[in-house]
Amino acid sequence: MTTATQPNVEQLRPEEVKFNGAQGNRRLTKEQFDSLQKDFDDLRAEIVADLGQSDVDYMKNIIRVQRYLEIAGRTLIHFSFTPVPFMLGVAALSVSKIMDNMEVGHNIMHGQFDWTNDPKMHSKNFEWDTACDAGSWKRTHNYEHHTFTNIIGKDRDYGYAVLRLSDDTPWHPMRSIQTVYFALLSIFFQWGVALHELESERLRDGTFDLEEKKPYLKGLFRKGAKQVFKDYIFFPALAGPFFWKVMLGNALANLGRNLWASAIIFCGHFTEQAQAFTEEECENETKGEWYYRQLLGSSNLEGGKLLHIMSGHLSYQIEHHLFPDIPANRYEEMGPRVQEICEKYGLPYNTGPFWKQYGTVLQRVWKYSFPTAAK
């Protein structure tokens, strides 16, 4: 069930109402924004003060499991002669890549573990098992997406420049087959992420030329070549006559990771309830208003421990967007506290089970592929 708390209509005073997308959420007063900010700042300070050895031990254990799975997966793919061990190997390698990208890489690159002063889990040094190089990711994701979350025209993660997900984006004939783009983006997600910083849509409309993208392209080719070398040349070549078997296994493992990672990430901001914002709305935004936008623009997934770990705790997308640099293993205990704060201000806390949330994403991609009425 989607349990979005609806605003109490009686509390609305006309001069304060600012409607937003389909939900029409209440815009808070200045005092309320300040007090909302204080509540979130206090929660943050409380958790930061409590960080310690157990958080480091948690991340080290996750990294150990991830690496044992990678070693087991590659070994099984290499030595298997029947489909069952081969598929077990594919599964292990795929899970290892998911853990590396989501629970380990994404969180470490947010600087969640910089306080540990351990160079092996410091955002400055960490590189992950995917085509997108860490530097490009930190620029597009940590800076652009987390600062300008769901601001149409500024947050390029909103629809990844190929999907129309709100009436704020004008319809174009190209958008009519966006469900196909969506499927392709899911299948080749690691390359989609790697190409994100190319900003091909801005290259086409002449915002800048290819020359300016040279340093980025260099990084893209450098990292992309390494990934191709590892999964499609080195490990297949080790298997000699079984080159194609290993190559297929690695490709399947990458595909599994791509489908899962894209599904989780689309659920974060493109669900039915997740809201979009315009640039004008966000001008001269205070920290309280920033928290408000992060809260309304994100949606959570309900599930067990395994879902949380396999999604890199992006199942707690709301908590992650409010506190992107707090170790993700803390989001679970922060969730109920964030929900309390939402109730206090009558703000929605958008959450639901994975399939339900993903279903609304698919509906939304389908719905906005048609020229719906502009608002």
**Chain contacts with other proteins (rule: CB under 8 A):** 51-56, 60-61, 63-64, 67-68, 111, 114-120, 122, 124-125, 127-129, 143, 225-227, 229-230, 234
CA atoms within 13 A on the CB side of 319: 28
Q: Which is nearer to other proteins, 63 or 203 (CB)?
A: 63
Q: Which is nearer to other proteins, 101 or 262 (CB)?
A: 101
- Smallest distance from the beta carbon of 276 to other proteins, in angstroms? 24
Burial annotation 204-224 (CB, 10 A radius, 16+ → b, else e): eeeeeeeeebeebeebbeebb
Task: Provide the H-helix boundaries in the chain.
Answer: 30-50, 53-79, 83-99, 107-109, 134-137, 146-147, 178-187, 189-195, 200-204, 214-228, 235-238, 243-269, 287-297, 305-310, 317-322, 331-345, 354-367
CA atoms within 13 A on the CB side of 312: 32
- Smallest distance from the beta carbon of 235 to other proteins, in angstroms? 9
Residues 100, 83: Cα–Cα separation, whole Å? 25
Q: Which is nearer to other proteins, 26 or 145 (CB)?
A: 145
Residues 141, 121: Cα–Cα separation, whole Å? 18
- The candidate with the shortest Cα–Cα distance to 29, out of 12, 43, 42, is 12
Q: Which is nearer to other proteins, 54 or 286 (CB)?
A: 54
- Smallest distance from the beta carbon of 244 to other proteins, in angstroms? 20
Residues 327, 58: Cα–Cα separation, whole Å? 10
Q: Which is nearer to other proteins, 101 or 360 (CB)?
A: 101
- Smallest distance from the beta carbon of 16 to other proteins, in angstroms? 33
- The candidate with the shortest Cα–Cα distance to 315, out of 366, 358, 373, is 358
- Smallest distance from the beta carbon of 96 to other proteins, in angstroms? 12
Q: Which is nearer to other proteins, 124 or 202 (CB)?
A: 124
- Smallest distance from the beta carbon of 50 to other proteins, in angstroms? 10
Q: Which is nearer to other proteins, 125 or 286 (CB)?
A: 125
Say which residue the tokens 């351990």 belong to: 118
8 A C-beta contact, residue 277 and residue 258:
no
Burial class of residue 52, CB neighbours in 10 A (0-12, 13-18, 19+): exposed
Q: Which is nearer to other proteins, 100 or 272 (CB)?
A: 100
- Smallest distance from the beta carbon of 109 to other proteins, in angstroms? 12
- Smallest distance from the beta carbon of 146 to other proteins, in angstroms? 12
